[in-house]
Structure 1
């Protein structure tokens, strides 16, 4: 309650109307798979183009090295080719993959390690050159080891400094800095005072500049120091590197210039080469690598890393058809209730009975199966190869959501960048697979290659269509995100009326967009909130319960034209 203490006119704002609800995005995909580089734990990385994927996760993997585990790069490329705009990617690495480092150089002051495992780190070059961040003449030599300088800015306790008088150099360490007085660890010899307009003698800090180079990528950390107390400490500067982790293995106790500690007696550029990096082998991969581990925030891997991501609504692990991995992905989507899994079938499962055997492993409305594999061009081997369809289908989901809306079944859509199919199924085979919930991709004369199915893997007929489940994911996510303002508000009739108006306005807009059936909003949905949905016990325990019913549109899966002969006498 506002206080009114002095006479006057008071203007106050208050909210009484409905708050607009904004629909959540349903077109953001999440991919998990092998890559040549990139982080293997923490948050999935945002990727907005194939080139962006290459910068973060490297190029295509070879078939000889990784076989059926190599399809992540192809899937992401197909996702963008088919209309996707953004996705999040989490890399998986074999357990025997190793990180490149300079650990073989036992006497090295700097310990440099590639940011993540892989042979890519063996190509990293780290170059150090001498540098200095501050330079000043000495104006007065005080008592002890104190010297008044022209400008003490840039000098910090613990810094190694060098006093230069022509060809003569004296190294020292800063003990303290106060105003323009610098106290050194040892006294300087000779006449050190120089008050000339253009001084010939100077006291300078001793640092080094570190350059990290990998292919066309380069990072430069200027005027780095080995002094932990300085703001330009090398570990602090290089902490933002996307290529390497730099640690000070052990700076010398004596008064030695940082560059000399790193490079020895040389004065020119000093190069640190990394080695020992390895991509690992496909034999060491297991289902656990893709399922991942939950080591806490920032340390999760595989599927578990997407727990911290609330943007992704489509999930795929391209080419990995291990039932343990796929069932874990489906369980992940069901537990969160905000995302949908696209599953691949094994390439060798081409016969109807083999396809059905794999299909029978699943019963969920949060996933869909697609077959067969697709023929695309391989930029690595310069030939056509077959890849799993999940990345392409994820792009079609995104494209359909953007152009038509999530209520449109992502079927009868052409596949871009696909030149052929591994298997061509006929109508009789689809008559068996379609009711079972296997979505086929088929080639039609004059119509290209199209997705010819829109069913989930659920045995519940209410959730047999992909667009119905994804529409509910959209509605639930939008209402949840847009209703946070309700929490801790007084649970009264006024609040109930505001909530009803808010959701009514949102669902009316959804109905007008064609996502809900009915000729009027009252036929498309209903909202029930108040004493009919809550008891006094609910209110006393802080619960506000709103019951919402919607009538989703269903796809015209079977179009039947009944034709009869009209005779002249009729």
Structure 2
């Protein structure tokens, strides 16, 4: 209760009505796979276009080097071609992949390495040139190597400085800086005082500028220092680089210019080339690389890295059909309950019995299988190749969600950028595969290539259709995200009424969008909360229980027109 101490009129605001619930996104995809470059641990990276993918993860991988593991770039390109707008990527690298560095250079002051493993790092050049961040004339020389200067801004204890008197240079090191007095490690020789309007004797800091170059990318870090106490310490500056990392190995305490320490001699420009980077080999890859390791927040790899991401709702590992990896991906989706897995079949599994043998490994409503592989153009080899369908299907999911809504089954949709199929299945073969939960992609005369299936891999007929499971993911995620305000509120009838109004308003909007069946809201859903759903023990233990029932729409999978002959007497 507010305190009222002095007489007057008080105006207060309070909330009593329902709080609007905002629907969560269902069109954001998550991909895992091999790439030419990019981080291999930590949070998945947001990608919003194929060009964005190229900047972060590089170009296409060679078929000779990586075979069926190379399809991440193709899948991402197909995702955007087919209507996707954003995805998150986690890179997997072979265990024998190596990071390019300058380790071959002996007695190096700086240890420079590519940001992440791969042969791409062998193209990195680091160019270092001298620089200075501050300079000032000396007004007075005092005892104890102390010098009063015009402006001490930019000078820090530990900095290497150079006193220039015409062509003569004296290098020194700062011991301390107080007000406008700088104490040096050694006494400067000669007459150092210069009070002229345009001074010719100047005390300057000695730093260097680092240019990191890779292809068309370039990063410049100006006025870097080898002084750990300075805010422009080189390790601090380059820590934000997307190309390279830098570590100072052995900075000298001698009064020597930093660039001379790095280059080993007095030089105007010093260039460092990195080497030793390797993409690794496909033979060293295993299921463990894709499943990933949980080394804690910010250090997770593979599938585990998506634990920290709560935006993704569609998951795929393009071209990787190892049952251990696919089952781990499905388990990940089931545990989180907020995402759906799109699975590929091995390309060689074209016969019905082979397809069914792989299909029988799964029984989950959180995944769907698609076959066959798709023929698309390969920009790398300038020819048509076959790629797994998961990236294309993820784009179809995203497009269908955006244009129609998550309640629409992502089927009977044309595939963009696909010129052919690896296998042409007929009706008889689909009669066997469709009831088993294998979604075929088929070509129809005059109708292009279309997704011709909308079933999950679940044996539970309640969750037979993809759109039903994904609709529940949408509803559950929206209610969870929009109801956090309820936590720690007084568990009373007033709260129950507000919660019920909030959820009913949200579900009414979902029904009006066509996601729920029924001619009115009472037929489409119900929301129960109160003494009918909670006991006194629940209330005493801090539990608020709300029971929600919804009637999802089901796709018209079998359209039957019954035709009879009408006679003239009828």
The TM tier, using the shorter chain, reads over 0.9
Establish whether residue 514 from structure 1 lines up as the match of residue 521 from structure 2: no
Specify the SS of the correspondent of 2:239.
helix
Specify the SS of the correspondent of 1:240.
coil
Q: Which residue of 1 aligns with 2:312?
A: 312
Q: Which residue of 1 aligns with 2:278?
A: 278
What does residue range 142-221 of structure 1 map to in structure 2 within 5 Å?
142-221=142-221
**1:513-540 Cα shifts (integer Å, max 9, x gaps):** 0000000000000000000000000000
Any stretches of 5+ residues in structure 1 without a counterpart? none
Cα deviation, residue 265, structure 1: 1.6
Q: Which residue of 1 aligns with 2:472?
A: 472
What does residue range 451-470 of structure 1 map to in structure 2 within 5 Å?
451-470=451-470
Q: Which residue of 2 aligns with 1:233?
A: 233
1-structure distance, mates of 2:551, 2:426: 34
**1:377-414 Cα shifts (integer Å, max 9, x gaps):** 00000000000000000000000000000000000000
Q: Which residue of 2 aligns with 1:16?
A: 16
What does residue range 540-559 of structure 1 map to in structure 2 within 5 Å?
540-559=540-559
Specify the SS of the correspondent of 1:204.
strand
2-structure distance, mates of 1:472, 1:94: 37
**1:409-465 Cα shifts (integer Å, max 9, x gaps):** 000000000000000000000000000000000000000000000000000000000
2-structure distance, mates of 1:267, 1:103: 21
1-structure distance, mates of 2:9, 2:262: 72
Q: Which residue of 1 aligns with 2:384?
A: 384
Q: Which residue of 2 aligns with 1:259?
A: 259
Normalised TM-score (structure 2)? 1.00
Q: Which residue of 2 aligns with 1:108?
A: 108
Normalised TM-score (structure 1)? 1.00
Cα deviation, residue 255, structure 1: 1.2
2-structure distance, mates of 1:22, 1:442: 37
Cα deviation, residue 295, structure 1: 0.5
2-structure distance, mates of 1:305, 1:241: 22
Q: Which residue of 2 aligns with 1:28?
A: 28
Q: Which residue of 2 aligns with 1:322?
A: 322
2-structure distance, mates of 1:218, 1:378: 28
Cα deviation, residue 569, structure 1: 1.2
Specify the SS of the correspondent of 2:481.
helix
Cα deviation, residue 266, structure 1: 3.1
2-structure distance, mates of 1:5, 1:239: 56
RMSD between aligned residues: 0.5
Q: Which residue of 2 aligns with 1:337?
A: 337
Q: Which residue of 1 aligns with 2:351?
A: 351
Cα deviation, residue 53, structure 1: 0.2
1-structure distance, mates of 2:106, 2:292: 34
Specify the SS of the correspondent of 1:538.
helix
Number of aligned positions between the proteins: 570
Q: Which residue of 2 aligns with 1:134?
A: 134
2-structure distance, mates of 1:463, 1:349: 26
Q: Which residue of 2 aligns with 1:415?
A: 415
2-structure distance, mates of 1:266, 1:164: 16
2-structure distance, mates of 1:222, 1:22: 46
Q: Which runs of 4+ in 1 moved over 4 A?
A: none
2-structure distance, mates of 1:374, 1:39: 29
Q: Which residue of 2 aligns with 1:406?
A: 406
1-structure distance, mates of 2:208, 2:452: 62
Q: Which residue of 1 aligns with 2:242?
A: 242
Establish whether residue 565 from structure 1 lines up as the match of residue 565 from structure 2: yes
2-structure distance, mates of 1:117, 1:6: 70
**1:49-104 Cα shifts (integer Å, max 9, x gaps):** 00000000000001000000000000000000000000000000000000000011
Specify the SS of the correspondent of 1:480.
helix
Establish whether residue 483 from structure 1 lines up as the match of residue 483 from structure 2: yes
Q: Which residue of 2 aligns with 1:375?
A: 375
Greater mean alpha carbon deviation, residues 98-107 or residues 214-223: 98-107
Q: Which residue of 1 aligns with 2:301?
A: 301
Q: Which residue of 2 aligns with 1:503?
A: 503
Cα deviation, residue 253, structure 1: 2.0
Specify the SS of the correspondent of 1:183.
strand
Cα deviation, residue 343, structure 1: 0.1
2-structure distance, mates of 1:545, 1:183: 71
Q: Which residue of 2 aligns with 1:428?
A: 428
Cα deviation, residue 254, structure 1: 1.1
Cα deviation, residue 267, structure 1: 2.1
Specify the SS of the correspondent of 1:37.
coil
1-structure distance, mates of 2:144, 2:366: 77
1-structure distance, mates of 2:179, 2:59: 54
Cα deviation, residue 113, structure 1: 0.6
Q: Which residue of 1 aligns with 2:3?
A: 3
Cα deviation, residue 106, structure 1: 2.2
